[in-house]
Structure 1
Amino acid sequence: DPSVIIGSNQAVVNEVDMDWCIEREIRIIRRISGGGAVYHDQGNLNYSLLYDKTDAPLSGRFLEPVVAVLKVLSVPAEAGRRKDLWLNGKKISGTASHVSLQRELHHGTLLYDTNLEMLQRALNAGNRRLIKKATASVPSPVTNIRSYLAEVGADAPGISIFMKMFVTNLLLHYGESEVMSLPTDAVAEIEQLRKDKYTQRSWNYRL
């Protein structure tokens, strides 16, 4: 389902057209990592990278394998100064990170075939800054990877096929051969966390 995901230190009223999203049953959810607000739908590919904590957990080095894989897939993306990805002068990926005592989490979006009109509408709070202490998103021009591939005459498959290609090449980059499934107890913990935290208004609207 379409959803808007805001950063840990953002305020919903500053970032999202709440009335418009509620009318269309677009969920608004807060994540544990920082960064700006993003719009998700079935044309959006998300990736997460987990590592043991390094000496520079916020350096942006985690984007190197993503950039390398995209180039294999005929997408010459470049990393921006905000640890985002750009294609022909437009943004195709935003990222965020969360660092604990021993581990670091990096995750990002890939706009492949997203409804950009819905994205722009959902993330339009009317230039309001009602809560000054909250982290503000930085608006950027955006584009879809699939549109770019079609424009340059490259193969532009549906998102399911592109996702499989992305995963296959990412595994090759790390020297792995197969995707592992989460154990049943981990899936149960995730579901419980979803119920106890990420569906709760006290968390999602805490700013």
Structure 2
Amino acid sequence: MKLILSPWHSPVRNCALEEYMVTERHDDVLLLYRNTPSVILGRNQTVAAEIDGDFCRAHGIEVVRRLSGGGAVYHDLGNINYAFVSNKEASPVLDRDFLRPVVTLLQVLGVEATAGKRKELLAGGRKISGTASHVTRNRQLFHGTLLHRTDLHMLEQALRGDRTARGKGVASVPSPVANIAELLHSDETTEAFLERFGALLLQYYGLSGYSPISPNETERIAQIERIRRMKQQADNHGE
């Protein structure tokens, strides 16, 4: 396992980073990243049914479609994202095994987290992490969010779509959510929490430090990002 902390906060760039890890790497990787305000749509969702387009445009909230299915999620810099990418034959089937280190380390940090039936993480009866997965012939991606200091008002407003516009798209399943900082009664910044969480992950996997992204990889990820942006523009125009 290699642990990579993304140097970027662009949601399109980080989706491109995930795509690169799935399609062009062959090792086991755990990514950590944060995004600027954005809505990340599931692979088969209808834009208009999931978001308030006017609100998102007015507040500079980027709308991005990810590789995996599932429901729409809101990201901002108060939100930490994790992504496990591995070869199918070398790792267990996508199930709660992937959540085990996340649950374990959250408990070390004082969060009484448990895995729910939909592979979400719950604490105090509310969702603190949603997850989704994507499987190819040789690779598998399992990724999720951690709500630490997310602006929950922005989350609620951005995800107010027109449900009548769903068509054949996959519907999101709304759930009561909570921020980890609130549950811990903590004034710790998300940056500091991420630093502690990352340090525990390094210890958990017996790693000496984060693995870098090479210049050649950065160039390839940028190419994937450009293609994604063109697709995104067409997707958003069709909302």
Q: Same fold (TM over 0.5)?
A: yes
CA spacing shift, 1:33–1:206, aligned 2, 3 Å: farther
Task: Find the partner of 1:162 among 189, 193, 206.
Answer: 193
Residue of structure 2 equivalent to 1:48: 83
Distance, in Å, in 1 between the alignment partners of 2:193 and 2:142 is: 21
Which residue does 2:226 correspond to in 1? 195
CA contact (8 A) 1:11 1:205 kept: no
- Equivalenced residues, count: 202
Residues 68, 100 of structure 1: alpha-carbon distance in 2 compared, 3 angstrom cutoff: same
User: Which of 112, 133, 141 is matched with 1:105 structurally?
Assistant: 141
Decide whether the 8 Å contact of 1:49 with 1:107 is kept in 2.
yes
Q: 2:158 and 2:179 mapped to 1: Cα distance?
A: 17
Distance 1:191 1:92 in 2: 31
1:184 matched residue in structure 2: 215
Match of 1:26 in 2: 61
- Find the counterpart in structure 1 of residue 48 from structure 2: 13
Matched, 1:86 2:122: yes
Counterpart residue number, 2:151: 115
Percent of paired sites with the same residue: 45
- Name the aligned partner's letter for residue 189 of structure 1: R
50-59 vs 159-168, which moves further: 50-59
* AA matched with 2:149: D
**Counterpart position of 2:98:** 62
The residue type paired with residue 94 of structure 1 is: G
- 1:59-115 CA deviation, whole Å, 9 max, x = no partner? 232111100110111111110111110110000101111111221111111000010
Question: Displacement, 1:24?
Answer: 1.4
Distance 1:205 1:33, change over 3 A: farther
Q: 1:85 to 1:131 in 2, by over 3 A?
A: same
Q: C-alpha distance in 2, partners of 1:185/1:206? A: 34
What is the CA–CA distance in structure 1 between the aligned matches of 2:68 and 2:237, rounded to whole Å? Answer: 15
Could you tell me how far 1:205 is from its partner in structure 2?
6.2
Gaps of 5+ in 1: none
Paired AA for residue 101 in structure 1: R
Segments of structure 2 that go 5 or more residues without pairing to the other structure are 1-35
Contact 1:46 1:109 survives alignment (8 Å): yes
Asked if 2 retains the 8 angstrom alpha-carbon contact of 1:12 and 1:205, the reply is no
Shift, 1:19, TM fit: 1.0
Matching residue of 1:133: 168
With over 3 angstroms needed to count, the CA separation of the structure-2 counterparts of 1:92 and 1:137, relative to structure 1, is same
